[in-house]
Structure 1
Amino acid sequence: MVSAPLFAAFALMTALAVMAVLWPLSRRRTERAAREADLAVYRDQLAELDRDQAAGRLPPEQVEAARVEVARRMLAAADTAPEAVSSAGNRRRMAAVAALVVIPVIGAGLYLKLGSPDLPGLPLAQRLAAPPDGTDIAILVRRVEDHLAANPNDGRGYEILAPVYLKLGRADDAVRAYAQAIRLLGSSAELQAALGEAMVVRSEGMVTQDAVGAFTAAVALDPKMPKARFFLGLAAEQDGRRQDAAAIWGQMAQDAPPNAPWLGMVRAALARIGAPAAPSAAAPAPTAPGPSAQDVAAAASMTNDQRSAMIQGMVDRLQERLNADPRDLDGWLRLARAWRVMGNEDKVRAALSSARAAFPGDEAAAARINATAKELGVGG
């Protein structure tokens, strides 16, 4: 039920509203009072004319003309319609009744229909003191803030509060909270990466120099920290260093376990800058049959005819597969090495040339092809 103090507050506010309406009405002169005041003035004017005539200050004809004019005005004032006066008074009374009765009645009816008169009062102090139910985030945040105001060296409190600030869109508060947590708890890869992320949110997606510093500190503490590495790649992309971004994200894709939740985001970033999405080291892409380094080494112990037959069969199968699907850089490099074992330098050059044609504009692929060419002695 609504408490008595609350009803008293409602009554006081209603009374103030009514007085605001009635006060100007009560100060207006009535039409009757105005008419009586006018008649009193005219009577004084007639008496003044009589005194001027008796003293000889005005000629008789001017006194008579003035007396006629004053009399005319008195008649006009006396003939003011009482209905008009009564109508004006009725309007004022109706306004007073509306202010005193109708408005409070309508307000009470709306409250009973739309409000919650049976809901018990719950002041803020009681809400803060009540056990948390997990539904009022603002109350939970306020409790932690009050706790930190009383215990400013509680680094764990800042660590808990910072991500809540970030979810609530309070990026500035989140940055300050993470900075306090690092100051009190010491630097860690997780806290530094979270601080950098809050800075990126605060700058609306731009990786600022302060954020780069935080991500760099995180990577120094944990070289495999995915969040920090990703944002450092994003910083490189925003700076126009697409090759550096491709190197960072490509290495992340190679290091990623197959079920890494962030692997899709990394591959999308690589696709955005036109870099190939390297397969993860934990889940290497299947390769087609072809002469591996172990196969070539084993062939050295065979007779010339056996070795030639074995390698030729592997090379032919690999060549067929690469002709059907040329987007296999490892396959082309393996083919070039196989032709070198077989002593066919023209075929080595042809395999490397086909690899370059399959990966136009790919700087990472070109670097590997040139390194293989140098290794096999056929130039860059």
Structure 2
Amino acid sequence: MSGLLLAAGALSVAAAAALLAPVLRRRAAGSAEPSETAIYRQQLDELEQDLARGLIAPREAKAARVEIERRLLRAAGRGEQRLASSAGTRGVVIATAVLAPLAAAALYLPMGAPALPDRPFAARSEQNNQQLAIRQMVTRLEERLAREPGGLDDWLMLGRSRSVLGDMQGATDAYRRARALAPDDPRAAGGLAEALTFLAGGMVPREAAALFEEVARRAPGDPQAAFYLGMADAQAGDSEAGKERWRRALAALPASDPARDRLLNAIGGAGRQLGIDVAGVLATPPASAPAGPEALAGMSLEQQLEFVRSMVGRLEARLENEPDDAEGWSRLGQARWLLRQPEKARAAFDKALALAPRDVGILKAYAASLLGPVDPASGLPEVGDEARALFDRAAELRPEDPEPWWFLGIAARQRGEQARARSDWQRLLDLIGPDHPDFAGIRARIEALGS
């Protein structure tokens, strides 16, 4: 497991997952594979066939159709960001230190929260290779979770996978386990809320609405939460409130943001399903400022810096009116760190921690911002005393989270405490399990510590 990979994951709260990737996703937009799009179109065809044969109720078919149409466009944003350590060439160092952080900030700040991984819909097809692979993966994951407790990411993965397979009750159970492990994690809250909505046939139940409200508080710019809350308003008979919520969400998204097209498609489908006129909502003009890495294309380095500074300025202005937004202060801290403003970054993180001293995400983001340079020989970042103390608090609050144990092992190794490093990394291996792609690399590092 490369030091840069986990450092980037901890810092992003959106440049990973999910600096700054959204929300709709883990939180980082890539292009959908043509095969994935074909699968979604196939599922629309199968849905119509099932409806014609009477295998699904019209109400459930309407809800599923809206979601499939929304996911068809949303697939373009799916993907997991992986960064690898590549010390040794100056070009890679420059890209990592300047261009990648700027692109991450450009993608994250306008959307407002760490990347929530995309939450797949209830797929009905059992005839394609993708579902076969998912079923095999789910079986292996369930077998492992039956042997050991599992961590947050394990239960989130199980929830998403069960959703894909159409097992919404199983997805709900998995997301509840994830939420028990991390009550403050918006991925668990959002995943559970969406699963409950599907379980209710497309109606947004009271519990789901409360969860979406929680996501909206933690990630004010989350289009997914805004969409479902608007659905809940409209389903409750207040279509004007629902349309106003959708209108505000659209107005906050620039035309260049892929999330805007996905939200437009979802609102259009919801309007047809609910029988309400959303033409005025769909005509909502986009935000004037472009968002996402594509906004940086063609800009000089100075223009890119100015672009990110302007976004930071807007975030600061909002925090003046909403000073109790711990997540907002944390995002500001990360942005300041990316702009090489360590003192301002520390001040923002300090405010975030004062508001939410037990928020593991903030603790990890703050700690990651304090990491030192990567040692070319080991490929590991320097973990100083301050960063170590923050990771230690995170591990104490959420011992099932693998990430702090990685950095605590690095800190112990750098202090010459081989036994402690071995213990921390072994704890990490126990949490991620042998199927994790980094398992062998971590085990090799443990063996390299010697006896």
TM bin, normalised by shorter chain, reads: 0.3 to 0.5
Q: If each structure's helix is expressed as a fraction of its own residues, which one has the higher value?
A: 1
Q: Which has the larger radius of gyration?
A: 1
With the length of structure 2 as denominator, give the TM-score of the two structures: 0.32
| Larger RCO, structures 1/2 (Cα 8 Å, 6+ apart) | 2
